[in-house]
Amino acid sequence: MKELNPINIKYFKLVVPKIKKDSKNEVTGCCPVCGDTKYRLHLYSTEVGDLVHCFNSGCPLEEKHHSMYNFLKIINQYLEQYKQETFKTKIQNLNIQSIIDSVKPIEPIEPIKKEPEVPTIPLERLFDKIQDHQVALDYLKNRCIEPQNWFYSTQDFFKYNDKNYYLKNYILIPIFNSDYKYRGFYSRSINEKKFSTFLLQDTDKIWIQNPKDPPEIITEGIFDALSTGFNNPAAMLGADLNDDYIKTLPKNTIIATDNDTTGIKKLYKFIQKGFKVFIWPDVQEKDFNEMLCIGYTKQDIKLFIEKNTHSGLTARVKLGMKEC
């Protein structure tokens, strides 16, 4: 039989006035809720966790087997201390950084015509496949995005560079470099507009659908990139691309930023370096993924982008008009 959590034993003894049976698997005492004096209150271990139950007829704890958290909530004593101590224990036991640091390089895959298979990566050991969670699939369906070899987090916290990040109910998208070596992942909440990127050192902050080939278009977000209709889209994940990486891009790569002041300012750098940039016309839609979700096809969006792509002096003039 599984042993009781020592923290649960500690707080059970703090609120139960008399203890009769005391073992690693079960502790019995008098119930402080109903006033029982015959040691009918039990704390015992199960496969789903430690539970508290009173066998005294008419006791509020009789009909349902409660967790220690719910039991203390009913008692209204030591609950905050219990929450803090349990939280600290979970954090101490969660050390994912060591697994990421131990990743071994994966041999480059020989060029093939079809999309390369994603190699085994640490995310498979840490998180669930996204196909196993209908709530995540429904979220992608509402965003008109087909699920790929992605993952889903049901953990409360992820530890990275000695910091703890809340990643429960997040979609996790792997990031690879041009040799198809795992470099980290992008995470996006399905409940609110929150996202984070976790990368190994000396890694460009960019996601490319097929990292062995140069991207045809680079947007700011992954969902926008997948909505454009281009064969090999990429996303800069909300960050500026560094100059060393920009030098590796073909000049026919289309750069498409968000339709806001920050996005417009980013485009000037790419125009100066000779790239083609997409400039939003006066439309109601905010991004490419929104266009896809309201009925545009990917081919429609691709043609829309190509029609509003400019370079050189023309691009500068059109950007200047948008800032007026």
Spell out the CATH class of 204-324: alpha beta
Sign of torsion over alpha carbons 217, 218, 219, 223 = positive
Spell out the CATH class of 6-93: alpha beta
- Pairing type for strands 49-54 and 41-46 reads antiparallel
Residue 80 pLDDT > 80: yes
pLDDT digit string (tens) for 234-254? 998 866 788 888 888 999 999
Radius of gyration of the chain (CA): 27
Residue 125 pLDDT > 60: yes
In this prediction, residue 10 has a pLDDT band, given cuts at 50, 70 and 90, of: very high
Mean pLDDT of the chain: 84
204 neighbors 241 (Cβ within 8 angstroms) = yes
Of the listed ranges 72-76, 133-137, 177-181, 310-314, the one predicted with least confidence: 177-181
Cβ-proximal residues to 216 (8 Å cutoff; 6+ apart), any chain: 230, 231, 232, 233, 253, 254
- Domain residue spans in the chain? 6-93, 95-104+117-194, 204-324
